[in-house]
Chains A and B, each alone.
Chain A
Amino acid sequence: MTEVQVSAPTTTRAGVEVRLEDLQRRYGTVTALDGLSLTMEPGELVALLGPSGCGKTTALRLVAGLEDADSGRIVVGGKDVTGLPANRRDMGMVFQAYSLFPNMTARQNVAFGLRLRGVGAGERTKRAGEMLELVGLSAQSDRYAHQMSGGQQQRVALARALAIRPTVLLLDEPLSALDARVRAQLRDEIRRVQLEVGTTTLFVTHDQEEALAIADRVGVMRAGRLEQLGSPSDVYARPRTPFVAEFVGLSNRLAGHVNGGTVDILGLRLPLVDPTTPDGGVTAIVRPEAVGLRNVPDDTGQDALVGTVVATAFLGAISRVTVDLGGGALVLAQLPTSEAADHPAGSRVRLTLRPDPVLVTPLAVGEAAGVTA
Chain B
Amino acid sequence: MRIDGLHIDGFGLFHQFTIKGISPRVTVFLGQNESGKSTLLGFIRAIFFGFPDGRTNENPYPPLAGGRHGGNISLKNQQNETYVVERYPGHGGGKVDVLNPDHTHGGKEVLTALLGTDNRALFKHIYAFSLSELQYFESLNTDSVRESLYSAGAGIDPKSLASLKSMLEKKDADLFKPGGNRPKINQLTSRLSAIHREMKDLQGAVAEYDEIKGQIVRFSREIDALEDRRTEVTLKLKKVENLIDIQPDWSGLTTAQNRLKNLEPIESFPLQGIMRLEGLYSRIEALELERLTKQEELQRQESELPSLSNDLDMLQYAESIRRLQKDQGHYEALIKDLLSLEQEIPLHEQKFNQDLTRLGPWWTEKQVEDFDLSIAAREQVRHLRERLEQARFEAQRKKDSLETVFLGKREAEERLERLDEPSVKDHTRLLQSKGFCRELRDILLEERLAKEAGRYLDERLKDLEEEKKMISEIPFYQEAKWPFRIIMGAWGIGVLFLFWFGRYTGIKWPLSAVVGSLMVGIALWIISAQIIKKNLRRNQVTQNRSFTLVTKIRELESKKNEAQTRMSQIQKQKTSLSTGLSLSEPPTTVLMEQMEQDFTDQMSQLLLWLDARRDAAQTEKRYHEAQADLKQAESDANHIRNAWLAWLEERHLDQALSPEGVLETFSLIESCKEQIKNLHLLKSRRNSLEAAKAEYLAFAEPLFEIYHKKPKTDHETLHDVQDLIQYFTESEKASQKRQILLNEIRSSRASLDRIDEQIKRIKKEIQNLLSSGGAANEDVFRKRAQTFQERNELMKDIRTYEDRIRRLSGKWGGMKKVIQELLIFKMEDLEAQKMAYEKELNETETALEHLKQNRAGLDERLRQLVNDERISLLRAEEEGLKEELASLSEEWITVKLAQGLIKMAGARFEKERQPKVISEAGRFFKQLTLGKYPSIVAPIGEDRIEVMCMDNSRKEIAHLSRGTAEQLYLSLRFGFIMEFSKRSGSLPIIMDEILVNFDMDRAKAAVQSIVDLSREHQVLYFTCHPMTAELFKQVDPAIPIIEISQGDVKRACL
State whether these chains interact. Answer: no
User: Which A positions have Cβ atoms within 8 angstroms of B?
Assistant: none
